[in-house]
Amino acid sequence: MLVTPEGDILDYIPADGSVRVARDRQGRRIYVDSWGNIIATAMPADQYFSRYGARDYRRDRYRPVEGYPETSRDYFPPAPSEYGDDLTTGSVPDFRDREPGAVDRSELPEPLPGDAYSDGEQPRDGWGTEDMASLPDGSMDPEMVPGPRFPTATPIGKKTSAEVTALQVFLDREGFSPGVIDGRKGSNVTKAIEAWQLATGETLDPNDTDSILERLHLNGGMPFTTYEITPADAAGPYVASIPEDYAHKAALPALSYTSQTEMLAERFHMDEAYLKEMNPGVDFTIPGTIVKVINVGQQKKGKVAKILADKARKQVLAYDEMGSLIAAYPASIGSSDTPSPSGTVTVERIAFNPNYTYNPKINFQQGANDRVLTLQPGPNGPVGTIWIALSKPTYGIHGTPEPSKIGKTQSHGCIRLTNWDAAELAKMASAGVTVEFVD
């Protein structure tokens, strides 16, 4: 008997190849359509009769039934014909050998949001100029690092970009962020797996793509989806470029996105270069254009009572009132020249999309600017779209205009996250939350 997810009995399965057969965790046959959706489940009776007599299915539930074809584990079946095979693993390019990073822009100092303060305090944080190499997968020795002891993640083997993307999407939906989703394995993915394992007590095998796809199906669906560019997406507003000089920044009406691809990449938690490579030849400026993007799912929900900033791991961990780890994010935290503070502070206030004030007497000298400048809000602002002010003056947790560099570069003392991770954390936190820096 075939039963749909809604409980209806289905008496017909197309034989044209549009439906694949697989197994669920209970060993039952499931029928999956071209988008990876379960359309029916084979529900066995306690007994059935064949020419050899009755057979107790409860004692023989995993043996293939005679006359049925071998099951398939293909969870990336061909997409419907109107989209070609755009959602298959084989159609997603393998970009492991491409140059890392998104669109190159000059690195910028990071002032504190001026409108978040009434007492004239100004920021000390800023962009570092020295990129740090990513830590190799599994290289973090738990015994050498203070704070929580993380279960070591299984090294990721040779996987396609689509398979690594599925892993990144799963972690992102769970609230254990891998940073930008780019189809590439690296230290941010490894740290996210280890944090997820610590929080759940389970072991996640990053090489078991079938299991990961089954988990995705139960939490938001397959990792890829399509999106139609709207007239508002095409119109912006956008700015031609983001200047390096702070006086020129201050002259802009907003520090907006520079292109439709930058906006869409951030909306779908993607590396901008990966978005373009997944959609070769696509003009993102035309309304009605269908593009392939990441199916990111819903934001993590919860109430954060404590934030731990682990400098060695380059990761921010969020705990609830019971002390349970509920979220984790890759971060850039300080540098040897301008280290982050040590010890415990608290969240003072949270500002969404704030202005930013540059004061050379308090912060740093940027170019020839020797006077106070006010920079308007925007995702390309020096601290992105979020500022979580800490009780230690001039320090905070904030976003970034360069999400692809998170966890791989240094900061000037503050804690830098991707804009979407900073926004997720900000919505779960509140004034008074404890923030502990771990060396």
Q: Find the helix or strand (DSSP H, E) in which 247 lies.
A: helix 246-250
The tokens of 195 are what?
């944090």
DSSP result, 65-101: PTTSPPP---SSPPPPGGGTTTTSGGGS---TTSPPS
Q: Is 248 among the catalytic positions?
A: no
Residue type, 437: F
Give me the amino acid identity at 189.
V
Supply the angle between the helices 161-174 and 209-218 in degrees, to the nearest 10: 40
Give the SS3 label for residue 140: coil
CA distances from 175 to 168, 282, 299 (A): 11, 31, 8
φ, ψ for residue 271 (rounded to 5)?
-70, 135
Closest CA to 38 of 52, 26, 53: 26
Token readout for 108 is 């910028």
Structure tokens at 63: 């043996």
| Helix, strand, coil abundance in the chain, percent, nearest 5 | 20, 20, 60
DSSP letter string over 319-369?
E-TTS-EEEEEE-EE--SSSPPP-EEEEEEEEEES--EEE-TTTS---TT-
Residues 217, 269, 398, 412: which is the catalytic one? 398
**Residue 171, C-beta contacts closer than 8 angstroms, at least 6 positions apart:** 177, 178, 189, 192, 193, 196
Distance (Å, whole) CA 333 – CA 230 = 37
CA angle at 301 for the pair 427 and 197, rounded to the nearest 5°: 120
Catalytic pick among 217, 248, 412, 414: 414
* Distance of alpha carbon 16 from alpha carbon 36, whole angstroms: 16
Active site residue 398: yes
The residues annotated as belonging to the active site are: 398, 414
